[in-house]
Structure 1
Amino acid sequence: MIRVLIVEDSATVRQCLREALTPAAGFEIVGEATDGAEAVELCRRLRPDVITMDVVLPVMTGLAATEQIMALAPTPILVVCSADRRELFTTYDALAAGAVDVLEKPRGDASDDTWAQRLRTAVKVVSRIRVVTRRLPVPPPAPAAVAAPAAAAIRAVVVGASTGGPGAIVRLLRALPPGFAVPVLYVQHLAANESFAQAFTGWLAEQTGHLVGYARGGEALSSLGGRVTMAPPDLHLLMRGGHLHLSAAPPRHSCRPSVDTLFESAAADLGRQAAGCLLTGMGRDGAGGLLAMRRAGAVTFAQDAASCVVYGMPREAAALGAAEESLPPEQIGARLAAMAGAAATGSGEGRVAWRIPS
């Protein structure tokens, strides 16, 4: 039995959760809380395997409850929220604070027919994740100066992440200066939900101060300096001939968009004129692609085990020898910023933003 604590102030939604998570399906509901303070206390006392967490709660918000739980009694948390934009912003704050995944509440339409099964699947997946205590982040040391002798100009930074990615990418992007002129292409495994997707780009821009948007396909890479460009939900993102392309090709490692697809295209199209960063996530998507990038001469980073929500994808990359360095996200960002140096202060099209040693 997977022991579940339900945190939800709506009696109707609590009933939906209760009916879906039955003993016959392999779940035991060990408690129910209707506010954040009660959730923290019940988590401390009952030690559930998984918490389903609403974010809009009386007394103490779901975000505050998540922060306290992850600091005092780390427990895998599945956020169950509505598609309201502001609520989704708070949801992504909770993911950055240590919650593992998110599921939309029942809508009252045909999509509800599969909601109970999607909830059960999500709870089972979340229950297998080993979470760690979340402490206040420690600022990374100031990066050492990086010499920049003649070398190939870096034309793109490519980043991939899955579970735990929202918090990790925020930490990486905050370490990049506002004038960082290299295009950042980013694959994040997210639910193929338009409301969730649009809220994520807005939230990420608000958290980091960088321009963030989804790829449309056809953009010249040289026109994307100073921007974070994401793979749209349920489409692969790749580069070909210096332009972005979108593809509905079959999923890879059960993922679309796939990190491997982006990384392999970067290796083929840019070679040593790229940097690859593989962040926290379950599975192995991105590990082979990061190896292809390293073999092509690109700079490659993987997130280190201690800072990952799930040390799956980066571990696979490390096992393959795909990553030159394994670092926390803020230190990866600091390394990129140090490499950029003074040249990362412009944003003009086609600008050579930074260089790496031969």
Structure 2
Amino acid sequence: MIRILIVEDSVTMRHHLREALAADPDLQVVGEAVDGERAVELVARLRPDVITMDMMLPGISGLAATEQIMAEHPTPILVVSSADRQELFSTYNALAAGAVDVLEKPRGDDSDADWGLRLRTTLRIVSRIRVITHPRARLGRNSSPMPAPAPALPSVVPVAAPALSVVAVGASTGGPGALTELIRELPPNFATPVLVVQHIAASEQFAVAFSDWLAGQTGRNVRYAIDGTPMSRVGGQVLLAPPDRHLYVRDRMLRLSDGPPRHSCRPAVDVLFESVATEFGATAAGCLLTGMGRDGAAGLLQMRNRGAVTFAQDEGSCIVYGMPREAALLGAATYVLPPGRMAARLGDLHPAGARR
């Protein structure tokens, strides 16, 4: 039995959630909260297995409730959010503060047909994730994350690499917070393009809000990749894979594809990493961040085998130690570090700029 706490102030939406969950006898609603304060109280008293969290609540917000819960009683949280721009920014802040995943609220159109099934499936997955007292939640939303203990570096340190042409980054569950830390900590004059695959909700509204949110969090030029853009024109930019499109590089140009999913993912990290390995070899760097599953591990190994400097996020700083763990087990990571230390190492490689 998976015990669920519903946090939602709308009577209609609470009914919709209960109705969708009732279709699975293994999902039990153990409590409901209509505001953030009550949510925090019920988590402490009921200790649910998983929480559905609305962002726009009376009293303390869903974001503040998420931060408090992750600081005091870490529990897997699924944010159930509308596509309203203000709410989406709060949603991404909640993901950076330790919430595990997000599901868009029903839209009132044909896309709602399988919404209940998606809710039940996502809650089953989220409930199995081992969450920790998240550093950002513990310190407060406007503070810098507490640094994780420094892991041991590999016994064999690679020789100095040639100038970086590109940094390829892959992330999934927990990625918004890790991406923010990695990109924010890069040196201000870091001129190398950063290509990012982040597994995230596929609606256009969610996508646009995410790029704008990440730009605001990091102070960087963040946008979605456009097919056919030459790599020579994207220096210093952070380019995201658009929703439901693979991102890769061919003939020194950004390419997008509707090709088959890899590891049930589109965009897939492996597609990006494999193309970067082929195109740039030893002039690339790869970073595999927090996430469930194994997408990106094999591609990161290909990058390392071609001479690239490769990073996997360390367990202590991950929301979900899945993808980086697979990479470490394969021997794909040159370094195993928290995102901030990855950024410092990337800056140390060639801080004066990059050959593109």
User: Fold match, TM over 0.5?
Assistant: yes
1:234-263 Cα deviation digits (max 9, x unpaired) = 111111111111111100111111100100
221, 231, 240: which one aligns with 2:231: 221
Aligned to 2:98: 98
- CA gap of 1:100–1:141, structure 2 versus 1, over 3 A, is closer
Q: What residue in structure 1 maps to residue 355 of structure 2?
A: 352
Shift of the alpha carbon at 1:139? 5.0
Give the CA deviation at 1:178.
Answer: 2.7
CA distance in 2, matches of 1:141, 1:97: 19
Measure how far apart 1:229 and its partner are: 0.2
Query: Which amino acid in the other structure matches residue 302 of structure 2?
Result: A
Distance 1:141 1:30 in 2: 37
Distance 2:298 2:24 in 1: 40
Taking structure 1 as the reference length, the TM-score comes to: 0.92
Match of residue 295, structure 1, among 300, 305, 315: 305
Structure 2 unaligned regions, length at least 5: 140-144, 151-158
Inter-partner Cα distance in structure 2 for 1:219 and 1:74: 43
Question: Residue type matched to 1:352 in 2?
Answer: R
- Name 1:138's counterpart in structure 2: 146
Amino acid at match of 2:26: G
User: Is the CA contact (8 Å cut-off) linking 2:4 and 2:50 kept in structure 1?
Assistant: yes
CA contact (8 A) 2:97 2:134 kept: yes
- For 1:98-137, list aligned pairs within 5 A: 98-135=98-135, 136=139, 137=145
> Residue 148 of structure 2 contacts residue 317 of structure 2 at CA under 8 Å; is this kept in 1?
no
* Structure-1 residue corresponding to 2:274: 264
Matching of residues 175-214 of structure 1 within 5 Å: 175-214=185-224
How many equivalent pairs are there?
341
- Indicate the percent of aligned positions where both proteins have the same amino acid: 65
Runs of 4+ in 1 over 6 A off after TM superposition: none
Give the whole-Å Cα distance in 2 for the aligned partners of 1:14 and 1:340: 53
The answer to whether the 8 Å contact 2:160/2:349 transfers is no
For normalisation by structure 2, the TM-score amounts to 0.93
Q: In structure 2, do the counterparts of structure 1 residues 316 and 164 end up closer, same or farther at CA, with 3 Å as the change threshold?
A: same
Cα distance between partner residues in 1 of 2:166 and 2:229: 13
Partner of 2:14: 14
Decide whether aligned partners of structure 1 residues 140 and 16 sit closer, same or farther in structure 2, where only a CA change above 3 A counts. Answer: closer
Match of 1:47 in 2: 47
Contact 1:140 / 1:331 at 8 angstroms: preserved in 2? Answer: no
Please name the residue that 1:335 is paired with: 345
Aligned with 1:310: secondary structure? Answer: coil
Residues 255 and 151 of structure 1, relative CA distance in 2, 3 Å threshold: closer
Paired position in structure 2 for 1:242: 252
| Coordinate RMSD, CA, aligned | 1.7
Partner AA of 2:100 in structure 1? V
SS at match of 1:196: helix
> C-alpha displacement at 1:340, in angstroms?
3.0
